Structure 1
Amino acid sequence: MPHKQVGIRDVAAAAGVSVTTVSHVLNDTPHTRTSDETKARVRESAAELGYQPNRLARGLRTQASGMVGLLTEEIATTPHAGRIILGAQEEASRNNLTLAIINSRLSTSVDVESSQIQAFIDRQADGIIYATVYHDEVVPPDELHAVPAVLIGARDRDGEIPSVLPDERAGAASVVDLLVRRGHRRIAFAASSVDVPATRGRLQGYRDGMMAAGLDPDRFVAEAESEAIGGYEATMRLLDHGADPATRPTAVFCYNDRMAMGAYRAVAELGLVIPADVSIVGFDDQDPIASSLYPPLTTVALPHYEMGAWAVETLASLIDGHDEHRLLGAHPILLDCPIVERASVADPSR
């Protein structure tokens, strides 16, 4: 039977330290606070296990290539990819770095694929950015600890790798605050039925906003598929409160812009007008949906450009030896999700 290849996590477990500490010790990273006793224990554990660090990865610290890798989990095929890539590319140019991109397949496992990461390492990338579709925890493979790394849209379960996420909970709460300031009190939420972090974050943000305004967070919530048909179905249920204008919602906040598109259809079929009879708000600021609906949709923008730029900026600092940025692994950076106000919100008429 072939022997299992020993990885950096095996060394970390044997030495009783983090994988980052193992990486620092075996790569002789300068300006770390690792004690001589810990260094000796790590090296002893590596020797006992027969750990062989990647030769090319070890050479990266002194043989800078000027290239950083962006590994995307099918993000390059999503509507939001362009802004992430543009932010990363422009920040890379400001730091005299070349950005290389690999588009990976979507995996339902928390373990990300390692072969594409190894491809960057084999080409002597100075650092690697990993971007995911769903904002969940991941367990990065050992290869990602061989070089400076940053996560976009995910957090490292071990708290070792810096990461950046959109603050969707606060973004959703800000929508409720906007509607309350416009005079709305019966604010409905068309929620997604798919259990992903964005679903939970946006629903909790809606609940936060409603409770902050002294409103019932459970009265007007309907779950459905996070597509146009789901938005249509949820909105029909939400507005069917005896069809009495005095009791039905005056505003519907949709989980995303696709659901908002379905909400527009439901409102029209009910003989109502946006925003005179009911205000509609989306989330994502997805092009071309939000700006092409009539009236144009008020929505929440995800900070894709800013996340891409932040990732490269942080990665460049790590490459330059500013190791304090690794502290961000335990506390991911949350970036604001601003409201993009258009014409689908008005003061309630009743």
Structure 2
Amino acid sequence: MSQEVKWLSTIRRPTLKDVAQAAGVSTTTASVVLNDRRDGVRVPDATRHRVQRAAEDLGYRPNILARSLRTQKTRTIGFVSDEVTTTPFAVGMLAAAQDEASRHGYLLFVVNLGPNAPLALQEQAIDQLTQHQVGHFIYGCMYHRLVDPPLGLPADTVFLNCEANGGRHRSIVPDDRQGAYEVAAELIKAGHRRIAFLDDHRHPPASRLRFDGFRAALAEHGLDYEPALHLKTTPFVRGGLVLSDLIDLPAEQRPTAVFCYNDRIAMGAYRAARTRGLRVPDDLSIVGFDDQEFIASELDPPLTTVRLPHREMGQLAIQLVLDEPGALDDVPAPKGNVIRIAGELVRRDSVAKPHSDLGQSDASSS
């Protein structure tokens, strides 16, 4: 490093002009190289490398504020969410979005508003981000639900893990129907014919889609849907305790397997089974949904479930909002503005063939 470069790096913040002088080029050429601009100027590779080396030696950093005053935008993305940043359940979605934004040279500004934040508070947060010249927006939710878009969001905003009412904005959500179909089919392939479904009583979009996938798997394998085995309950651990009501049915009506709306209900179902002296999966197979951290893999036995594609969704949201070419090449065609991303069936040890003689007989007769 030259004495001049050392002096500049210790006395004051180096400027674009300093970089140009150190590299022996014009300020315009230095700007084209460092700001990734073209402006009709073709810069040879050797010159480009010389400018980049000079900037590195000087410790030059672009003046983001000055650039934003010219372009009315900064290389920032606003991530407005309810609870995504405070829960391990969906935080992988945010981590993937941060990684992808960084890969493109963008900074993610995260605003966590908490559950059920009023629209006025959401709009205030969006207005403040806009005043700071945030260039793009992602609106993320902890779980798949319908939301009313707050005022002030630009048209290219991407809704993540939720569906925006009105159809104006693009939304990325898990393919809950396909995931439910696959995990229900896993039980059927193991020989189960009487499968209970412990559902979310709130009936969010994910509940409807998972129920549709469950019924589709039954129908495709020639099985009838039994309303008596479909119980609606709270989507928490205590919700799984309603399984006791089904275990107490006569043997010929009792389910041999249980599909739980989520892993927390499955945890409660494990408790209900053990309270009645049943072993999982020897006496009763149980599957869940979400592959929730600290639950699914830690149950005894570990739970067969569906991993939600949170990381893939977070990554795709950044690619869409930045209009990256080919972002949708590897995903199914959107239905309108809703993009559904497939999860992954995670096979563990909570599924086995039906244990009872009646269950074995039913399985072999189909």
TM over 0.5: yes
Name the CA distance, whole Å, in 2 between partners of 1:329 and 1:253: 27
**Aligned-residue RMSD, C-alpha:** 2.5
Contact 1:111/1:140 (<8 A) preserved: no
Q: Is 1:189 aligned with 2:188? A: no
1:186 alignment partner AA:
R
- Which runs of 5 or more residues in structure 2 are unaligned? 1-64, 328-332, 361-366
Q: What TM-score results when the alignment is normalised by the length of structure 1?
A: 0.75
Residue 328 of structure 1: how far off its partner (Å) = 6.2
Q: How much identity, in percent, do the aligned residues show? A: 40
Residue 135 of structure 1: how far off its partner (Å) = 2.7
The equivalent of 1:143 in structure 2 is 152
Name the CA distance, whole Å, in 1 between partners of 2:177 and 2:335: 20
2:187 paired residue among 162, 168, 179: 179
- Which runs of 5 or more residues in structure 1 are unaligned? 1-55
Name the CA distance, whole Å, in 1 between partners of 2:234 and 2:134: 40
The equivalent of 2:177 in structure 1 is 169
1:173-214 per-position Cα deviation (integer Å, ceiling 9, x unaligned)? 111111111111111111121232222222222122212222
The equivalent of 1:94 in structure 2 is 103
Name the CA distance, whole Å, in 2 between partners of 1:135 and 1:60: 37
Look at both structures and tell me which one has the larger radius of gyration over its CA atoms: 2
The equivalent of 1:204 in structure 2 is 212
The equivalent of 1:81 in structure 2 is 90
2:338 paired residue among 325, 332, 343: 332
Residue 61 of structure 1: how far off its partner (Å) = 9.5
Name the CA distance, whole Å, in 2 between partners of 1:342 and 1:210: 22
- Closer/same/farther in 2, CA of residues 114 and 342 from structure 1, 3 Å limit: same
Query: How is 1:1-350 mapped onto 2 (pairs within 5 angstroms)?
Result: 62-107=71-116, 113-145=122-154, 148-217=156-225, 218-233=227-242, 235-242=243-250, 244=251, 246-317=252-323, 330-349=336-355, 350=360
- 126-135 vs 104-113, which deviates more? 104-113
- Closer/same/farther in 2, CA of residues 169 and 250 from structure 1, 3 Å limit: same
- 195-204 vs 303-312, which deviates more? 195-204
Contact 2:84/2:94 (<8 A) preserved: no
- Closer/same/farther in 2, CA of residues 160 and 69 from structure 1, 3 Å limit: same
Q: What TM-score results when the alignment is normalised by the length of structure 2?
A: 0.71
Name the CA distance, whole Å, in 1 between partners of 2:177 and 2:124: 34
1:202 alignment partner AA:
R
SS at match of 2:172: strand
- Closer/same/farther in 2, CA of residues 230 and 336 from structure 1, 3 Å limit: same
Higher relative contact order (CA 8 A, sep 6+): 1
SS at match of 2:308: coil
Residue 310 of structure 1: how far off its partner (Å) = 0.6
Name the CA distance, whole Å, in 1 between partners of 2:339 and 2:311: 15
Q: How many residues align?
A: 283
